[in-house]
Amino acid sequence: MSYFFPNSKNLITSAYISVLFLYAIFFNLSYASNLIAKNSYSLITAVMNNDLTKIKKFAKLPYFNVNEQDANGYTALNLAASLGNIDAIKELAKFSKISANLQNENGISPLMGATMNGNIDAIKELAKFPNIDVNLQNKNGISALMAAAIDGNAEIIKELAKLPNINVNLQNNGSFTALRLATNLGNIDAIKELAKLPNINGNLQNKDGVTVLMAAAYDGNIYVIKELAKISNINVNLQDKDGITALMLAAVVGNVDTIKKLAKFKNINPHINSASGKTALDYTKNKATRKCLKKFFKL
């Protein structure tokens, strides 16, 4: 009642709100609704406090902008996803014009935020949003799938793989894919899940021509190599910009176990020449490595 019959103490407040309503009627209804809301209790604050009652009240405000971003570019949904506030996400999903794809100042979307914080239930709820884009990338080119690969979270990789139009072969700013990132970190469970994906490409090369198999061979990670071997049509003979193959790298570092693993790949060619005209045998630095190459490749 004080809004309509102000006393001396609230006269200024009442006049202010009246002006806002008049402005809304004649000029911009959505701006007024949001300005009134911000003067009391923001939607982002309600999400931080998991205050479902307040969130529901915001939903009733006419022309309320549910996609408003704070100083760091976070929307209410982005924050709810990062915090894993499932009930808040469900309530926000009821706002008719909510966008699940807005990114903060670092390019992190709600789906990325949920992934980076390991909130698998939040991911399941976000998957229900229409037109959600699983392929968005942050400022470093990291996608939600890449974030899951970095964390080695196989369960989240499974969930993300269910989303429509997922591009499992996206490359970040360093031209690394999710598979390459998991390989570099030795995240075996993540590699196992990624290797199962029907469209996974194990032959993509970064700007230097390095493949996941080359990276694993150089690191001497035989468990990663074993999983990579399960990817159909993986090409063990690819060469980087210097003409170096995975086998040559294994020879350079002198890793006998890696050479044995690579020898199991079909069609592996130990006679390939690098840009300098050397074969894998030419790159060996010790007798054990040389002996291993000769034995397994009958050189």
pLDDT at 41: 60
Q: Where are the alpha helices (DSSP H) in 102-221?
A: 110-116, 120-126, 144-151, 154-161, 178-185, 188-196, 212-219
Residue at token pair 């949920």: 114
- pLDDT by position in tens, the chain (length 299): 332 333 343 334 333 333 333 333 333 334 334 543 443 468 999 999 999 999 999 988 888 899 999 999 999 999 999 999 999 999 999 998 999 999 999 999 999 999 999 999 999 999 999 889 999 999 999 999 999 999 999 999 999 999 989 999 999 999 999 999 999 999 999 999 999 998 999 999 999 999 999 999 999 999 999 999 999 889 999 999 999 999 999 999 999 999 999 999 989 999 999 999 999 999 998 999 999 999 999 88
**What is the model's pTM?**
0.83
Start-to-end Cα distance in the chain: 95
Provide the token pair at 226. Answer: 């074993």
Q: Are 61 and 26 in contact, with CB atoms under 8 Å apart?
A: no
Distance CA 147, CA 151 (A): 6
pLDDT at 56: 94
